[in-house]
């Protein structure tokens, strides 16, 4: 239930992000047409495409929150990083498109844009940065890789809009001969987006490939299990991330003279201790081993 609540909270944030992108797309396209700013029109079109990526994240979170079933005994958690991978790939595609239109703007600059587009861009940057921070905070609470990528997606939008702001400012102030400044600024932002996108893609891919969790997290799991009464030690401990939660396979050492029933009770106590912990663990498999005398 906790996993489902976290997924629903994340999906609600993404839904509001979709509404924000739709509103900003309309404002950017209208402002770009009015202010003779092709970069702003292109940025508005990109915001429309962002709605698709946000819908993918929303779908991934909803699917990941589903409980295990016959066909998916370990749950549907992989849907969340898979959605993150697709969004990361879309980010690369968007960066390539931005680079293409930036080069066109540099080689064949259009008329200088109107200064009135600058306040609009300033509002866009502020809103995107604010929402990116909201999603980043939600990522920390839920442990969602897809929400982290979505947060970066909003941040990347803020970067492109900030680049457009800088470029248009230079074009407006510089006048004739500075029309290509917008293109150079957008190209610089595109490189930053691509560089950071690689790291985000790798993070989502690591979740899909069941990469080992950080040592500090494993240490917390071991320490929680070791605190259970009659546990003499912890042998193996394997942990993998599954969507918004973790699956744990742990080998616990107990007194070899204990009965099967006593060992079973200790295993149950270890499992419940881990499930009740704040570590976002959704399932635990406990293997009992005899401790060395």
List, as one string, the DSSP characters of 74-140: T-STTHHHHHHHHHHHHHHHHHHHHHHHHHHHHHS--PPPPTTHHHHHHHHHHHHHHHHHHHHHHHH
Domain boundaries, the chain: 2-208, 215-290
Q: Please indicate whether residue 272 or residue 36 has the higher confidence score (pLDDT).
A: 272
Question: Mean pLDDT over all residues of the chain?
Answer: 82
What confidence category does residue 217 fall into, taking pLDDT thresholds of 50, 70 and 90?
very high
> What does the pLDDT read at residue 119?
87
pLDDT value at residue 6: 65
Cα separations in angstroms, 190 against 19, 162, 178? 24, 12, 20
Confidence check: pLDDT of 130 > 80: yes
CA atoms of 234 and 267, how far apart (whole Å): 12
- 276: pLDDT strictly greater than 90: yes
Judge whether residue 3 has pLDDT over 70: no
Q: Which pLDDT band, with edges at 50, 70 and 90, does 273 fall under?
A: very high
Residue 36: its H or E element: none
pLDDT above 80 for 39? no
Which tokens sit at 113? Answer: 């844009």
Confidence of residue 5 (pLDDT cuts 50, 70, 90): low
**Using alpha carbons only, what angle is made at residue 90 by residues 89 and 93, rounded to the nearest 5 degrees?**
90
Round to whole Å and give the CA distance between 102 and 106: 6
Mean pLDDT, residues 244-267? 92
Q: Over 80: is that where the pLDDT of 146 sits?
A: no
Torsion angle of C-alpha atoms 21, 133, 204, 273, degrees rounded to 10: -130
Residue 281 pairs with which residues in a beta bridge? 246
Q: In this predicted structure, what is the pLDDT of residue 147?
A: 78
| Cα 293 → chain centroid | 48
Average pLDDT over residues 263-281: 93
Cα→Cα distances 119→30, 165, 166, 168, Å = 14, 9, 12, 11
Say yes or no to pLDDT of 224 above 90.
yes
The class level of CATH for 2-208 reads mainly alpha
Is it true that domain 215-290 has CATH number 3.30.70.1350? yes
How far is the C-alpha of 74 from the C-alpha of 59, rounded, in Å? 19
Give the pLDDT mean for 128-140: 85
């Amino acid at each position: 239930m906790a996993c489902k609540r976290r997924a629903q909270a994340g999906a609600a944030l993404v839904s509001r992000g979709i509404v924000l992108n739709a509103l900003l797309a309309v404002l950017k396209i209208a402002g770009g047409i009015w202010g003779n700013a092709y970069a702003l029109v292109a940025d508005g079109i990109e915001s429309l495409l962002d709605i698709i990526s946000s819908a993918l994240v929303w779908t991934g979170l909803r699917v990941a929150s589903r409980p295990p079933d016959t066909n998916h005994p370990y749950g549907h958690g992989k849907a969340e990083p898979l959605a993150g991978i697709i969004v990361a790939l879309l980010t690369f595609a968007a960066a390539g498109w931005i680079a293409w239109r930036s080069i066109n703007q540099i080689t064949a600059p259009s008329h200088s844009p109107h200064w009135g587009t600058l306040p609009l861009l300033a509002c866009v940057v502020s809103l995107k940065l604010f929402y990116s921070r909201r999603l980043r905070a939600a990522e920390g609470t839920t442990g969602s890789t897809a929400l982290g990528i979505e947060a970066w997606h909003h941040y990347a939008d803020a970067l492109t809009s900030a680049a457009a702001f800088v470029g248009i400012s230079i074009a407006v102030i510089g006048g004739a001969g500075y029309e290509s400044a917008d293109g150079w600024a957008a190209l610089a932002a595109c490189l930053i987006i691509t560089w950071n996108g690689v790291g985000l893609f790798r993070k989502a891919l690591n979740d899909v490939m069941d990469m080992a969790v950080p040592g500090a997290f494993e240490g917390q799991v071991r320490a929680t299990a070791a605190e259970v009464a009659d546990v003499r030690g912890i042998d193996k401990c394997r942990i993998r991330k599954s969507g918004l939660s973790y699956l744990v396979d742990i080998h616990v050492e107990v007194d070899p003279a204990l009965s099967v029933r006593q060992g079973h009770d200790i295993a149950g106590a270890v499992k419940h201790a881990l499930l009740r912990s704040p570590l976002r663990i959704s399932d635990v498999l406990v293997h009992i081993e005899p401790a060395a005398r």
